[in-house]
Structure 1
Amino acid sequence: MKISFTGKTALVTASTGGIGYAIAKLLGESGAQVIINGRSEESVHRALDRLHTDVPAMHVKGIAADLGSDAGCQRLIDAAGHVDVLVNNAGIYGPLDFFETSDATWEQYWQTNVMSGVRLSRAFLPAMQQQGWGRVVFISSESSRNIPADMIHYGVSKTAQLSLSRGLAKRFAGTGVTVNSVLPGPTLSDGFRDMVKEEVERTGLSAEEIAKKFIKANRPSSILQRAATVEEVANMVVYVCSEQASATSGAALRVDGGVVDDIL
């Protein structure tokens, strides 16, 4: 199967590192013109330099915008132009006890994890419908179904993405536009590697080994019994954005290694 995005423009939010970068890179390798996004000019320039090295023939531009606010989303919308494929990857996470989670923190998670996708979808979906083709993907999480007790605020925001994705898929039924969610589980992202850097130095274990220990202790239902790579997550996202996935819409597609213990 040969996936091609020749002639398509893809916007991947929060794509200067981790899963977002892997998605942008694979889309570029598949022929898409790609727009990457990060919160700062510095992070965007670093990612652009890296992409030009990794995929020299890739057509890519970068837009710095913090998607945790209406103004930041509008800045990205205004600068992006036409978009055929929208990957809503922007999101924040972090453990915090429910009784220590302030209204301001709840609002921050809601604005970044949910409203950024609302605003960008509202901006780009009408043109996709008009041309009779488009793809929207929300990067949710296994935490949307397996709500973590130490990150309830995060889990709620990720569950909301599933509702948003399913509702938009139904709203654009029969138009040639598909809307789906992808649910990664524990993943060896840049954020995870940064988080365990001190433990790597202290113990001499690799990030992969630390991830295996975490999964055994905290995600014992995992069938994979290891963390996924960012490339494994990107493979699913790029497929569901492709022409070949035209019969898949309104789905919540798991790349969680079987952490969510059900058969659906």
Structure 2
Amino acid sequence: MNVFGTVRVTKAVIPFMKKAGFGRIINISSESGLQPDSFMPHYNASKAAIINFSKSLSKAYAAQGILVNTVSPAFIMTPMLENLLKDNAKQLNITYEEATQQFLKENRPHVEVKRHGTVDEAASAVVYLASEQASFINGVNLRVDGGSVASI
């Protein structure tokens, strides 16, 4: 769903953007697309594909006024993460807060801010890339990750 959903929506909107001579496509990936973990290889691969797909599109359509970028959040408190942490707390018989800190330490040791991000923080990156202030940003993978990706 991650990859094919992205491709289908893109195919649907590109003709309208080409006709208008303007467009912004902002795909959502994940830090896992750059720094995969061991427990969700299918998810990691799909998010890497979205980053690659977006970069290719950015090259194909920029001259037509269509800018394509990706936002890659990490450790954002979404329902999926909240459920994972609740399950971990229950399985380990620890508090939710302890499960959060344990997950952070074991699975996201490079989140230098030592907390989860918020949906609003990730959304702010999307809003910025859609704005006129980002009119010279194309083909970027903007990480909203608290420093999680260990490489440059």
Larger CA Rg, structure 1 vs 2 = 1
Unaligned 5+ runs, structure 1: 1-111
Letter in 2 for 1:247: F
The equivalences for 1:104-119 within 5 A come to 112-119=1-8
For 1:182 and 1:216, the matched residues in 2 are separated by 24
Letter in 2 for 1:172: Y
1:169 aligns with 2:72: no
For 2:123 and 2:100, the matched residues in 1 are separated by 19
What is the aligned length? 149
3-state SS, counterpart of residue 113 of structure 2: coil
The equivalences for 1:1-264 within 5 A come to 112-197=1-86, 199=89, 203-206=94-97, 210-263=99-152
Q: TM-score of the superposition, structure 1-length normalised?
A: 0.53
Pairwise CA RMSD = 1.7
For 1:205 and 1:156, the matched residues in 2 are separated by 29
Structure 1: which 4+ aligned runs deviate by more than 6 Å? Answer: none
Letter in 1 for 2:86: K
Higher relative contact order (CA 8 A, sep 6+): 2
Q: TM-score of the superposition, structure 2-length normalised?
A: 0.89
Report % sequence identity.
40
For 2:95 and 2:38, the matched residues in 1 are separated by 30
8 A Cα contact 2:86 2:96, kept in partner: no
Deviations 1:140-176 (A, max 9, x none): 0000011112211111111111110001111102222
Unaligned 5+ runs, structure 2: none
Structure with more of its chain in helix, by fraction: 2
For 1:214 and 1:195, the matched residues in 2 are separated by 10
For 2:85 and 2:25, the matched residues in 1 are separated by 32
3-state SS, counterpart of residue 71 of structure 2: strand
3-state SS, counterpart of residue 83 of structure 2: helix
8 A Cα contact 2:31 2:74, kept in partner: yes
